[in-house]
Amino acid sequence: MKHNNISIFVTHVGCPHMCAFCNQHTITGNSEIPHAEDVQRICSKALEQITDPQETEIAFFGGSFTAVPREYMLELLQAASEFVGEGKFKGIRISTRPDYIDKSVLDILKECGVTSIELGAQSLCDEVLDANERGHSEKDVIDASLLIKSYGFELGLQMMVGLYKSSEDRELYTAKRIIDIEPKTVRIYPVVVLEGTKLAELFKKGEYKLMPFETVAALCAKMLKMFYGAGIDVIKLGLHSSELVEKSIVAGYYHPAFSEIVQSRLFLEAIKSEITDNKENIIEIAVNRRSYSVAAGHKKSNINALKELGVDCRMITDDSLSRQEIKINGEIINVFKIT
Ligand code: SF4
């Protein structure tokens, strides 16, 4: 499903927490606080430019939206709600913390035209949540998620992979618990350790040892398949690129092509599973044009890996296939749903 946002960053304002990994001003690259007139200007301009506003949400990202002072939250929502409705945008999307969700705030959000709520869950493992000073528990995530769904909002959950005290098992546990909650969407953020955060201190002292990049990429590939297999849309994999972020990175898994690297692994896995008995053949692999570079792999890594297995492949494009499908010697396979 098509998913478009007009993103408005609310930064750190009003967030009473300081999670071990968070430096909101660095992540958004913008420490200015938007007001009603900014929301109106951004939305008016977007409405002129976007051809499919009914598939687009006005999205307040970057902080904990329901933790900002109530008056300010209402100012932004009221400005945005003027741009929602027939001939305008589909709705409003917000992101917040699980422990800042209750019935009274959900009543307000409903009335103001909010359609989707994303919760920063980060982990569903209490040891990891505690170690990273999140200030909420696994139970808080589950309770808030169920309440959001009971109001009819679209639920999104965000998880962070590779946090302090995390492990492969703990990440997979989180993915399974998220699947149990049945959100509509998931965002997967591999950890990026930013200057000025507690994680950076722990990393510099040697207390926080990160899993290798390859392990995290493989984990993300596994989880991507789990989520798609459960019918959950993964709408983001990796952090958005920005110069400011790159300059502030101390360690972690930031890579401008992170999502492609992970998806490429799944394409290679799918191809390999089809050619096991077929090594001598020259195979023809058809993919949607928009998936070509992911299927071929970063710097043609998949084509080279197949060559090392003694398989010469010819990759062609076929736009009758979806972006998740490949056709090998006439057979169509869904890359994200193979077992
Ligand atoms: S709750 Fe969100 S905005 Fe607040 S410190 Fe944690 S990550 Fe940053």
Give the tens place of pLDDT for each residue, 127-164: 999 999 999 999 999 999 999 999 999 999 999 999 99
Note the CATH number of domain 262-334.
3.40.1260.20
- Please report the atom of ligand 1 found closest to the CA of residue 21: 7
Question: Which residues in the chain are classed under CATH 3.20.20.70?
Answer: 4-256
Using the structure block, give the residue that is written with the tokens 């993919």: 287
Whether ligand 1 lies within 6 angstroms of the CB of 12 is answered as yes
Mean pLDDT of the chain: 90
Distance of CA 35 to the CA centre of its chain: 26
The SS3 call for residue 62 is: coil
**Would you say residue 2 has pLDDT above 60?**
no
Residues of the chain with CATH 3.40.1260.20: 262-334
- 20-49 average pLDDT score: 82
CB burial of 10-24 (b: ≥16 within 10 Å; e: otherwise) equals bbbbbbeeebbbbbb
Give the number of the atom of ligand 1 that is nearest the alpha carbon of residue 63: 3
Cα separation, 40 vs 123, in Å, equals: 35
Q: Tell me what pLDDT residue 26 has.
A: 57
Question: Among residues of the chain, what percentage have pLDDT more than 70?
Answer: 91
CA distance 109 to 74: 9
Ligand 1: distance of its center to the CA of 20 in Å? 9
pLDDT of 101 above 90: yes
255 lines ligand 1 (CB under 6 A): no
Q: How confident is the model at residue 25 (pLDDT cuts 50, 70, 90)?
A: low
85's tokens: 């409705």
Q: Can you identify the CATH homologous superfamily of domain 4-256? A: Aldolase class I (3.20.20.70)
**0.85 exceeded by the pTM?**
yes
Taking the CA of residue 62 as reference, the ligand 1 atom at the shortest distance is: 3
- Helix (H) / strand (E) element for 316: namely strand 312-317
Closest CA to 110 of 94, 133, 130, 122: 94
- pLDDT surpassing 80 at residue 95: yes
Nearest CA to ligand 1 atom 3: 63
Pocket test for ligand 1, best of 19, 141, 164 (most atoms within 8 A of CB): 19
Instruction: In whole angstroms, give the CA distance from residue 14 to residue 33.
Output: 11
Q: Is the CB of residue 164 less than 8 Å from the CB of residue 211?
A: no
Instruction: Using alpha carbons, select from 190, 339, 157 the residue that is nearest to residue 266.
Output: 339
Q: 22 CB under 6 A from ligand 1?
A: yes
